């Protein structure tokens, strides 16, 4: 197999240099539009000159894209500010276009929906809420212009006031979670013309708060999104025939229909698939050798899907699902049906296979080395500040060097426990193998992130992964343990805020275990890395905060691992619970959880308390823990370690 060329990272500088290299030449219209939008948004964020010129170029590209043109002429070099070609910051990604399934056609349809029912005949200002809304706003404006509306375009961030100039402001954004940002912006719009909101939505209830506040809202429901309609059998068959690339070389099979019970997940949710995840469909393919089951999953059709398409076509490993076809907006993969989960203590050879997968992926999906001037990732600075509170720059630089010991590669970002399972033959398999750019740790293009995730998913901690890695690569046990400890702190800091928030009982248990393992692992990793940093600078030892292994109560959300500093340590268990106390503890927890607020989950010698309801109920659930503390043989048995826990033996 030929070694593939390295992939360029998705940075502002890369997009600017790519446009410059194509100056005056034809290029794909969507790539041109998204690249210009990213540069415009970066200029708005930095407040440097040139934002107005980039906005106008983005709007012109949006007009032609909305008019159906597939190819545009790249702008001349002198139209792109030269400083952007030297800007090595990573592109800020729109949730809608990069991960949720919204496509550029949806912004144009949203504009047409507003035009068809508008009650305002005057001029408008389409204000895209940065980041995601600013990618959509020029396309909305193009759709309104086509309907004869007098339009201007701007971008706005929370806390800013758009310069309306007597125009009605149309706020455009990603599908809202709570609508609070949009509501605050709408209330701050100056002038009598006021503001409206235009957004694609997963559910009409997502904007109910805006409507109750008196804000006019125009929505594009998910069943009308381009990515949803494409997954209907007839449309999907036609799309794959026209656009699909089948690596096997065989004639493109026909879509014979959807698998009953696993149809379009955007319309009929699958168990275990989050409501805000991009659409997918289990399909039957009629091939030359009979019917074959597969899964068609959305990938972004523009610059945000490059990594996923590259992974689908390049990666060769027995673990990820076999890619059957790749198209601009879809990847069709073998349909893997889990026969068994990994379980709490998977066999050691399974971890070895997973480590082999990560290293093989890193070798095949390499990324161009960092250019001089690329900033230290924000999450690394966050970790350095928490560990030392002194000389942050030097500490962050040291941590960043440790994270760079393996060559940069496209991270899997999908090494969580639920992605690994055993098939009917007892072999380790993996779903969710495509590179996914929308993560808070997406600046860390290092395989160490995926290896650190294995320490959590397989339950063996950093020690097991370190031993496996040290057998394969030179450097020694302590070196790899330190590097993996830094990676786990960065991974856990990002992952902690991304754990699932909508649960069924199984999902609640899985999330509680992951949160506990992450928090426990981060506590141990913090102690190791803090010791390493304070050894490097003796003056930092006094300023460094203490690592908290088990806290008296959660410092924030009920289930959310975080860097283990600043909390109140739970009372030490001296001595640990006796056999009789353990029995009393189990009985007390069993009686207390009969009300259904929490689900007890056993993890070693600890009982995790997984909340079963939505986060909006967590304050009430947190108050209920006070009652549990009174029922236990000793209140100090109750604590928090990423999730509420009850100790069944002595813990640190």
pLDDT category of residue 272 using cuts at 50, 70 and 90: low
Q: Lowest-pLDDT range, 216-225, 411-420, 483-492, 521-530?
A: 411-420
3-state secondary structure 509-547: HHHHHHHHHHHHHHHHHHHHHHHHHHHHCCCHHHHCCCC
**pLDDT confidence of residue 314:** 87
Q: Is the model more confident about 575 or about 74? A: 74
Burial of residue 515 (number of CB atoms within 10 Å: 0-12, 13-18, 19+): buried
Is residue 554 included in any domain, yes or no? no
Q: How many domains does the chain have?
A: 5
202 and 311 inside one domain: no
**Max mean pLDDT range (248-257, 379-388, 538-547):** 379-388
For residue 621, pLDDT over 90 is answered with: no
297 and 347 inside one domain: no
**pLDDT confidence of residue 414:** 80
For residue 597, pLDDT over 60 is answered with: yes
The pair of structure tokens assigned to 28 is 């794909």
Find out whether 624 and 597 touch, Cβ atoms under 8 Å. yes
For residue 483, pLDDT over 90 is answered with: yes
Is residue 560 included in any domain, yes or no? no
Is residue 490 included in any domain, yes or no? yes
Task: Work out the average pLDDT over 99-121.
Answer: 92
Task: Work out the average pLDDT over 106-130.
Answer: 92
328 and 389 inside one domain: no
625 and 526 inside one domain: no
Which of 60, 92, 124 corresponds to the end of one domain? 92
Which of 195, 226, 257 corresponds to the end of one domain? 226
Find out whether 553 and 640 touch, Cβ atoms under 8 Å. yes
Q: What is the pLDDT of residues 334-375, one digit of tens each?
A: 888 788 888 888 999 999 999 999 999 999 999 988 777 678
Residues 394, 400, 403, 408, Cα dihedral to 10°: -150
For residue 18, pLDDT over 90 is answered with: yes
**pLDDT confidence of residue 3:** 52
126 and 190 inside one domain: yes
Task: Work out the average pLDDT over 184-193.
Answer: 84
Which range of residues forms the domain containing residue 317?
A: 232-334
With a CB cutoff of 8 Å and minimum separation 6, the contacts of 258 are: 233, 264, 281, 282, 283, 284
For residue 161, pLDDT over 90 is answered with: no
Is residue 585 included in any domain, yes or no? yes
For residue 62, pLDDT over 80 is answered with: yes
Task: Work out the average pLDDT over 51-77.
Answer: 95
Kindly report the length of the chain.
652
**pLDDT confidence of residue 177:** 86
For tokens 């198209």, what's the residue? 327
- Give long-range contacts, CB 8 A cutoff, 24+ apart: 593-601: 597/621, 597/624, 598/624, 598/644, 599/505, 599/508, 599/509, 599/512, 600/646, 601/509, 601/512, 601/513
75 and 197 inside one domain: no
Pairing of strands 124-129, 420-422: unpaired
Percent of the chain residues past pLDDT 70, beyond the cut: 95
Mean pLDDT of the chain: 88
For residue 540, pLDDT over 80 is answered with: no
**pLDDT confidence of residue 539:** 53
**pLDDT confidence of residue 442:** 63
For residue 171, pLDDT over 80 is answered with: yes
Which of 196, 226, 256 corresponds to the end of one domain? 226
Question: Under the phi-then-psi rule, with left for phi > 0, alpha for psi from -120 to 50, and beta for the rest, what region is 194?
Answer: left
251 and 264 inside one domain: yes
Task: Work out the average pLDDT over 600-626.
Answer: 87
Is residue 548 included in any domain, yes or no? no
Q: Which alpha helices (H) appear in 190-346, and where do they start and end?
A: 208-212, 226-229, 233-243, 306-314
Is residue 122 included in any domain, yes or no? yes
Is residue 551 included in any domain, yes or no? no
389 and 508 inside one domain: yes
Is residue 564 included in any domain, yes or no? no
608 and 536 inside one domain: no
252 and 371 inside one domain: no
CATH of the domain at 145: 3.40.50.2020
Stated pTM of the model: 0.89
Find out whether 181 and 189 touch, Cβ atoms under 8 Å. no
Q: What is the C-alpha to C-alpha distance for residues 375 and 650, in angstroms, rounded to an integer?
A: 43
384 and 519 inside one domain: yes
Q: Is the model more confident about 33 or about 48? A: 33
Instruction: Tell me how far the alpha carbon of residue 250 is from its chain's centroid.
Output: 35
Task: Work out the average pLDDT over 69-80.
Answer: 92
With a CB cutoff of 8 Å and minimum separation 6, the contacts of 52 are: none
For residue 502, pLDDT over 80 is answered with: no
Q: Lowest-pLDDT range, 201-210, 218-227, 241-250?
A: 241-250
295 and 218 inside one domain: no
Q: What is the pLDDT of residues 429-468, one digit of tens each?
A: 988 777 655 454 567 889 999 999 999 999 999 999 999 9
Task: Work out the average pLDDT over 64-79.
Answer: 93
For residue 503, pLDDT over 80 is answered with: no
């Amino acid at each position: 197999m030929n070694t593939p060329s390295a992939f360029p990272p998705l940075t502002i500088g890369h997009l600017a240099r790519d446009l410059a290299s194509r100056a005056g030449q034809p290029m794909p219209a969507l790539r041109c539009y998204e690249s210009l939008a990213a540069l415009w948004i970066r200029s708005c964020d930095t407040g440097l000159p040139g934002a107005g010129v980039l906005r106008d170029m983005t709007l012109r590209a949006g007009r032609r894209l909305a008019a159906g043109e597939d190819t545009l002429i790249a702008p001349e070099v002198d139209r792109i500010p030269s400083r952007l070609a030297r800007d090595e910051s990573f592109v800020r990604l729109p949730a809608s276009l990069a991960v949720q399934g919204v496509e550029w056609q949806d912004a144009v349809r949203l504009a047409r929906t507003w035009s068809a029912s508008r009650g305002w005949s005057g001029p408008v200002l389409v204000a895209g809420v940065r980041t995601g809304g600013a990618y959509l706003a020029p396309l909305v404006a193009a759709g309104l212009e086509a309907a004869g509306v007098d339009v201007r375009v701007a971008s706005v961030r929370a806390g800013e006031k758009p310069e309306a100039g007597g125009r009605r402001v149309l706020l455009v954004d990603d599908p809202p979670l709570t609508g609070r940002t949009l509501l605050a912006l709408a209330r701050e719009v100056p002038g009598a013309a006021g503001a409206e909101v235009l957004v694609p939505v997963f559910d009409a209830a997502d904007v109910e708060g805006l409507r109750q506040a008196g804000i006019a809202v125009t929505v594009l429901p998910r069943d009308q999104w381009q990515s949803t309609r494409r997954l209907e059998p007839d449309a999907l068959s036609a799309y794959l025939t026209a656009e699909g690339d089948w690596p096997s070389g065989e004639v493109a099979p026909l879509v014979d229909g959807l698998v009953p019970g696993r149809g379009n997940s955007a319309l009929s949710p699958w168990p275990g698939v989050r409501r805000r995840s991009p659409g997918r469909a289990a399909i039957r393919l009629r091939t030359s050798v009979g019917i074959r089951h597969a899964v068609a999953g959305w990938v972004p059709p523009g610059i945000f899907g490059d990594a996923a398409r590259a992974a689908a076509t390049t990666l060769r490993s027995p673990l990820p699902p076999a890619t059957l076809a790749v198209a601009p907006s879809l990847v069709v993969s073998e349909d893997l049906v889990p026969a068994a989960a990994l379980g709490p203590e998977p066999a050691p050879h399974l971890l070895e296979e997973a480590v082999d997968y990560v290293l093989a992926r890193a070798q095949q999906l390499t990324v161009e080395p960092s250019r001089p001037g690329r900033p230290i990732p924000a999450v690394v600075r966050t970790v350095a500040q928490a560990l030392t509170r002194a000389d942050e720059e030097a500490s962050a630089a040291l941590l960043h060097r440790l994270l760079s010991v393996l060559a940069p590669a496209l991270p899997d970002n999908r090494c969580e426990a639920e992605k690994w399972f055993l098939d009917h033959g007892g072999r380790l398999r993996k779903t969710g193998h495509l590179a996914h750019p929308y993560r808070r740790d997406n600046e860390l293009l290092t395989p160490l992130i995926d290896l650190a995730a294995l320490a959590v998913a397989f339950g063996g901690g950093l020690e097991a992964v370190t031993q496996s890695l040290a057998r394969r690569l030179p450097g020694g046990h302590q070196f790899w343990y330190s590097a993996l400890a830094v990676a786990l702190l960065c991974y856990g800091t990002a992952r902690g805020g991304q754990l699932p928030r909508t649960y069924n009982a199984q999902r609640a248990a899985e999330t509680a275990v992951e949160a506990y393992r992450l928090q426990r692992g981060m506590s141990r990793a913090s102690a190791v890395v803090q010791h390493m940093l304070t050894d490097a600078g003796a003056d930092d030892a006094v300023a460094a905060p203490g690592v908290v292994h088990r806290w008296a109560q959660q410092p924030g959300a009920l289930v959310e691992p975080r860097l283990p500093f600043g909390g109140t340590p739970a009372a030490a268990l001296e001595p640990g619970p006796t056999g009789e106390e353990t029995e009393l503890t189990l009985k007390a927890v069993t009686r207390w959880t009969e009300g259904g607020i929490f689900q007890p989950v056993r993890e070693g010698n600890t009982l995790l308390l997984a909340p079963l309801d939505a986060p909006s109920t967590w304050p009430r659930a947190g108050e209920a823990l006070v009652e549990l503390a009174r029922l236990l043989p000793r209140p100090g048995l109750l604590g928090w370690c990423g999730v509420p826990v009850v100790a069944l033996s002595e813990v640190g």
